[in-house]
Amino acid sequence: MKDKLELTCVPCNEECEQVGTAGYNPRKAKAECRAFINQLRRVFGSEPEGARLYVASNPHDFGTYNEVTIVFDADLEGTVEYAYKIEGDLPEEWDAEAIAELAEYDQCEANALAARIAANL
């Protein structure tokens, strides 16, 4: 039987893109979730067979928000333990690799914006 846990979008003590706020960037929100998934895999290891971390898109009154979710086979003990270990021990802060990943995303966004501006001159 498949089950899932909706976790969060970033480490507990970190700021994130907030749907409905001025300047909300859905691409950045998704990049934060991907960076968080990569960090979770570094901390807890890769998902065992029968479990998968992914970015879920959820409707909200102010738009669509993203959240890291784990789906797992509730009949496989290893997947249940893995999922609840993550849920119970979420990282509080970004690690160095996640910070670098997000900085690279920001640089790519800045370069793309500069290219769009230059093309319109």
Print the SS3 string covering the chain.
CEEEEECCCCCCCCCCCCCCCCCCCHHHHHHHHHHHHHHHHHHHCCCCCCEEEEEEEEEECCEEEEEEEEEEECCCHHHHHHHHHHHHCCCCCCCHHHHHHHHHHHHHHHHHHHHHHHHCC
pLDDT confidence of residue 121: 66
pTM of structure: 0.90
Task: Tell me what the mean pLDDT of segment 14-39 comes to.
Answer: 92
pLDDT confidence of residue 63: 75
Q: Where are the domains of the chain?
A: 2-119
Tens of pLDDT, residue by residue over 58-101, are 877 777 889 999 999 999 989 999 999 999 999 999 999 999 99
Asked whether 30 and 56 are in contact (CB, 8 A), the reply is no
